[in-house]
Amino acid sequence: MKLDLIDTYQIYVEPFHVDFTGRIFMGLLGNHLLNAAGNHSQKRGWGIGALNETRHTWVLSRLSIEMTSMPKQYQHCQVKTWVESVMKLFTNRNFAVLDEDGNPMGYARSVWAMIDMQTRKPCDLLSLYDGDICNYVVPEEQNVCPIAGHGRFRFKDAQLARTIGTYYSDVDINGHINSIKYIEHILDLFPRERFEQGIRRLEIAYKTESYMGDSLSFYLQPVQSGEESCEPKEIDVEVRKNVSEESAGEVVCQAKIIFN
């Protein structure tokens, strides 16, 4: 049976998955997107399980989510996901989040690399398994993802907001700090009031892994808006590990938050 190029993944918003406004936490929405991606890959022979046999694995490089409305407690939604394009070292995967009636609530874009688990070096996606992945790229007219692409970050006067330790609950099965946990820790930098209207867009670029026991330092850089009197609605965040008096540490990830 030939599978559709676009997969549908059902999500249900559990009571413990919503914030104080009753909307799903952005990190948990990201988690659902990654599950939808994993599911789509796995059904097409490109899941982690199959890849592990040849010592390959997927690494998430970028994730940008932009929502016009956030799923609410007890809501049933669906995530559509598909492969937009494949290059030598990266593949672009897009997502649409739809409500019960199929109306779009938002979209997301992601970039993935494939690495060799032993060397940790990227692989050539176009030659792996004879380029089979190219069979899953959707025709252009089906690639409906009307949100901006991933932006570039330029940090020049970011201010240290918080340094935290990393613990047992932060770590995934690979021993790395879980990519979703970074999103949680980043959002935890902001006061309650900032979430009353919700988040419109989150972008995150993963640069290097961190591990249980690493310290993470979070630097904030407001992106200037015209209205200087208002709290800026757009903020860039750089996360560095193991910053000390002697060392500027190493960039782990960079993110942009745009509040409504």
Does the protein bind a copy of itself through residue 71 (CB under 8 A)? no
Q: Which range touches a copy of itself (CB under 8 A), out of 3-11, 93-101, 134-142, 190-198?
A: 190-198
**What is the chain's length?**
260
Does the protein bind a copy of itself through residue 171 (CB under 8 A)? yes
> Which residue, 91 or 166, is less far from a copy of itself as judged by CB?
166
Task: Give residues with Cβ within 8 angstroms of 38, minimum separation 6.
Answer: 47, 48
Q: Which range touches a copy of itself (CB under 8 A), out of 56-64, 100-108, 180-188, 229-237?
A: 180-188
Which one among 3, 4, 10, 48 touches a copy of itself, defined by CB under 8 A? Answer: 48
DSSP state letter for 16: G
Does the protein bind a copy of itself through residue 60 (CB under 8 A)? no
Does the protein bind a copy of itself through residue 34 (CB under 8 A)? yes
Q: Which range touches a copy of itself (CB under 8 A), out of 59-67, 129-137, 171-179, 202-210?
A: 171-179
Does the protein bind a copy of itself through residue 196 (CB under 8 A)? no
| Tokens, residue 198 | 């919700």
Which one among 169, 229, 244, 247 touches a copy of itself, defined by CB under 8 A? Answer: 169
Task: Give residues with Cβ within 8 angstroms of 154, minimum separation 6.
Answer: none
| 146 exposure class (CB count in 10 Å sphere: 0-12, 13-18, 19+) | exposed
Residue with tokens 């940790």: 120
Does the protein bind a copy of itself through residue 73 (CB under 8 A)? yes
Cα–Cα distances in angstroms (integers) from residue 94 to residues 6, 37, 46, 80, in the given order: 10, 9, 16, 8
Which one among 119, 130, 173, 244 touches a copy of itself, defined by CB under 8 A? Answer: 173
Asked if residues 187 and 30 have their Cβ atoms less than 8 Å apart, the reply is no
Report the C-alpha gap between 165 and 187 in whole angstroms: 16
What is the distance of C-alpha 156 from the center of its chain? Answer: 24
Cα–Cα distances in angstroms (integers) from residue 151 to residues 84, 99, 128, 236, in the given order: 18, 27, 29, 11
> Which residue, 73 or 242, is less far from a copy of itself as judged by CB?
73
For the chain, first and last CA: distance in Å?
44
Does the protein bind a copy of itself through residue 14 (CB under 8 A)? yes
Does the protein bind a copy of itself through residue 230 (CB under 8 A)? no
Q: Which range touches a copy of itself (CB under 8 A), out of 8-16, 101-109, 214-222, 236-244?
A: 8-16
Residues within the interface to a copy of itself (CB under 8 A): 14-16, 18-22, 25, 27, 31, 34-35, 38, 48, 73, 167-175, 178, 180, 184-185, 187-190, 192, 195, 212-213
